[in-house]
Homo-oligomer: A and B are copies of this chain.
Amino acid sequence: MKIGMIGGGGVGQTLGAALLARGHEVVIGVRNPSAEELAKPRAQAVPLADWVAKNGGKVVTFAEAAAFGEVVFNVTQGAHSLAALTAAKASNLAGKVLVDVANPLDFSQGMPPFLDPTYAGPTSLGEAIQKAFPQTRVVKAFNTIAAAVMVEPGLIPGEHDLFISGNDAEAKAAVLEIARSFGWTGFADLGDIIGARAQEAVLPLWVRLWTTGGTHLVNLKVARA
């Protein structure tokens, strides 16, 4: 499958490498894919030139990545997601499955971050993206675990769940298939894209579990009667 990443940070690199390893074609979209930019060090990730040398794929513009992908991943920081997706262009995203992995976290007051009020309360980043790109089939997924766990859930022993939501059943099924290829077996389907409120609200809990529990390899299992 042709897959476009919107964003070249640690999450995009990790998902992209795992997808390439499973035989997909992957491009990473960034604001400026110049040779100089690709050589730059990146926080919690490798220079993109090193990533390409190791994994294959290529680095292109946001718009080229959106145009290329049958499935597109939003792996930008939540504060920049709408700007990056706007640069990627609605026409390039129309009809596509857009997996929204981003979290609208505000780090302005240090740790722990909190949910940006713009996308908290009776809304969410996932819903804001779906509203801004009505022709795109937005699926919120993978936003509640560390990047390493996204593509290797077995790093955490025992049962635990991937949360997913979205308005389009076929789009959700496509994302579940990708997740299964990474080894996911437990899923918590939170219904339509309003479920993104719940998924993004996991972040304050996840960060706290990480900082008080000593490992970012932490996730949740839903238990029901």
Whether A83 is near chain B, meaning CB under 8 Å from some CB there, is no
Would B223 and A208 count as touching, CB distance under 8 A? no
Nearest residue (CB) in B for A197 is: B204
Q: How often does this chain occur in the complex, in copies?
A: 2
Of the candidates B109, B209, B225, the one whose C-beta lies within 8 Å of that of A222 is B209
A23 near B: Cβ within 8 Å? Answer: no
Whether A220 contacts B218 by the Cβ 8 Å rule is no
Number of contacting residues on A, CB 8 A? 45
Taking CB atoms, residues of chain B closer than 8 Å to A207 are 198
One digit per residue, 1 when the CB lies within 8 angstroms of any chain B CB and 0 when it does not, for chain A 183-207 equals: 0000011110011011101111101
Interface residues of A in 160-178 (CB under 8 A from B): 160
CB contact under 8 A between A225 and B157, given known A189-B212, A197-B208, A208-B197: yes
- Bound form: Cα–Cα A217–B223 in Å: 8
**Chain A 90-139 interface residues, beta-carbon cutoff 8 Å to B:** 106, 109, 112, 114-115, 117, 120-122
**Partner of A198 from B109, B117, B204, B217 at Cβ < 8 Å:** B204
Is A155 interfacial (CB-CB < 8 Å)?
A: yes
Select from chain B the residue with minimum beta-carbon distance to A149.
B225
* Docked pose: A211 CA to B188 CA in angstroms: 13
Q: Closest chain B residue to A217 by CB distance?
A: B225
Q: Kindly state whether residue A215 has any CB partner on chain B within 8 Å.
A: yes
Give Cα distance in the complex from A222 to B210, angstroms: 11
Partner of A221, one of B117, B121, B217, B221: B221
Residues of B within 8 A of A194 (CB): 112, 208
Q: By the criterion CB–CB under 8 Å, are A121 and B112 in contact? A: no
A81 interface residue (CB < 8 Å to B): no
The residues of B that contact A205 with a CB separation of less than 8 Å are: 198-199, 201-202, 205
Contact A224 B215 (CB under 8 A): yes
The answer to whether A218 and B208 touch (CB under 8 A), given A114-B122, A120-B121, A121-B114, is: no
Closest 10 CB pairs of A and B: A217-B225, A198-B208, A160-B223, A201-B204, A198-B205, A221-B221, A191-B212, A114-B121, A218-B224, A201-B201
